[in-house]
Structure 1
Amino acid sequence: MEPGEKRRFKTLLYEQFARMGKALASPHRLELLDVLSQGERTVEALAQETGMSVANASQHLQILRMARLVETRRAGVSIYYRLASEAVSLLWLSLRHVGEEHLAEVDQLVTIFLQDRASFHPMTVAELREAMQDERVILLDVRPQAEYQAGHLPQARSIPVAELKARLAELPKEREIVAYCRGPYCVFADEAVSFLRAQGYAARRLEEGVLEWQMLGLPIVR
């Protein structure tokens, strides 16, 4: 390959990789990827979940689609979006982990907004797996029902946090409750643990979420 051709090849190659970098350069699009890591959603559901208008969410999704980070399927009049592959989940987790490692602002935000979390004594994945072997705990998935159906941890019961008060009688008080949601920055589990403790339950949250569990090579029930 001639020197000029080599330079042209490198330029064109990195331009393609840069397409993905540009697609990721938006907090809205990163949040969309985070929600889609839990399972496919319609544009309307994604807009509601992320606090965007349908038009704005659709525009961001089109950018992600052009970068081949998401795919679609049509069911009747609805269009469902999903992550293009497991590699996209890994990309999002890698970006998050690098941010946690190198950006002091991430720790500052967690300290400011999630300052009560330490009192919940979060349970590690290893601790949960040990507790599940002898059924010492009840594992509670407090995400929306659609996300539970898309994939959940083994032995988990589904009680979305919005339904917890009405369904409290389903949970026996003699066993510890471990709640989990989308991941370390999801507050559904925090809300569930806070409510359960106020009602006299022994409750903790899982440190990680479904995606992190799956990336460890652990089984997911679909």
Structure 2
Amino acid sequence: MTDFPEAPIYEHLARVGKALAAPVRLRLLDLLDQGECTVEELARRGGLPLKNTSSHLQQLRAAGLVTSRREGTRMHYALRDDEVSRFLGHFQDFAEQRMGDLREEVERHLGQEGGSGAVTAEELAELVGRGAAVVVDLRSAREFAEGHVPGAISVPSRELEERIAELPWDTTIVAYCQGPYCVVSPRAVRLVNATGRRARSLRGGYVRWKRERGTG
């Protein structure tokens, strides 16, 4: 039992911390930062059992982080607002700045192409502004249609090998995928670089770019 007068306030604050205290729920929030999804879509994209996905989403909704709506027999979930997206970005940055083992794990997971060697949103704007980069969106055609970095061309990752000849030789190719820890763009960068072209990843993918630069 807590016996200080401010205890009820801190108990409410702790509800947000509790909602964020599961890796699965953090992953679901990053997925929802890409756009509204049904429970079924989230379960498939997250590689999770449907029942568990629904339970985690209900906890996120109880903490005021997501909203839901029913359409027929399906429930659709979305981040509550843009403030949640910005909060997630600050939270991830804060954790990486203070936890060396987290930084090491991110670099191990993404490789240098997706970690320390990646282009930031600010660097991308500068490269595009002087015509020194071609931006490639590796997500699906549907995701591209829902929103993308201005000026990007759509080359879904599954089509990259057969379309690699379309990419230029004389300028830097900046490729991006979905969320901040997506491995698709680092792998694509390695593939493109192996052809003799110059390629780099966009740090944090579309989600991080959207958090820093707008809605696309």
Matched, 1:220 2:215: yes
Secondary structure at 2:151's aligned position in 1?
coil
Aligned-partner residue type, residue 197 of structure 1: N
Is the Cα–Cα contact under 8 Å of residues 154 and 220 in structure 1 kept in the other structure?
A: no
Query: 1:205 Cα deviation (Å)?
Result: 1.2
Aligned-partner residue type, residue 147 of structure 2: G
Secondary structure at 1:154's aligned position in 2?
coil
Aligned-partner residue type, residue 86 of structure 1: D
Aligned-partner residue type, residue 39 of structure 1: G
How many residue pairs get aligned? The number is 214
CA RMSD of aligned residues (A): 2.5
- Name the counterpart of 1:13: 9
Secondary structure at 2:57's aligned position in 1?
helix
Larger Rg: 1
1:193 pairs with 189, 192, 195, which one? 189
Q: How does 1:1-222 map to 2 (within 5 A)?
A: 7=5, 10-117=6-113, 121-216=117-212, 218-221=213-216
CA distance 1:26–1:146, shift in 2 (3 Å): farther
Is the Cα–Cα contact under 8 Å of residues 107 and 116 in structure 2 kept in the other structure?
A: no
Alpha-carbon distance in structure 1 between the residues aligned to 2:140 and 2:27: 16
- Percent of pairs with identical residues: 39
Query: 1:71 Cα deviation (Å)?
Result: 0.9
Aligned-partner residue type, residue 23 of structure 2: P
CA distance 1:157–1:106, shift in 2 (3 Å): same
Query: 1:90 Cα deviation (Å)?
Result: 2.1
Secondary structure at 1:114's aligned position in 2?
helix
CA distance 1:74–1:162, shift in 2 (3 Å): farther
* Runs of 5+ consecutive residues of structure 2 not aligned to the other structure: none
Tell which deviates more after alignment, 87-96 or 206-215. 206-215
Alpha-carbon distance in structure 1 between the residues aligned to 2:80 and 2:116: 35
Tell me which stretches of 4 or more aligned residues in structure 1 moved more than 4 Å: none
* Runs of 5+ consecutive residues of structure 1 not aligned to the other structure: none
Tell which deviates more after alignment, 37-46 or 163-172. 163-172
Is the Cα–Cα contact under 8 Å of residues 43 and 57 in structure 1 kept in the other structure?
A: yes
Secondary structure at 1:101's aligned position in 2?
helix
Post-superposition CA distance 1:138-171 (Å, at most 9, x none)? 1011123343333221111222212322333443
* TM-score of the pair, normalised by structure 2: 0.85
* TM-score of the pair, normalised by structure 1: 0.83
CA distance 1:121–1:11, shift in 2 (3 Å): closer
Post-superposition CA distance 1:44-81 (Å, at most 9, x none)? 22112211111111111111112221112233433221
Secondary structure at 1:105's aligned position in 2?
helix
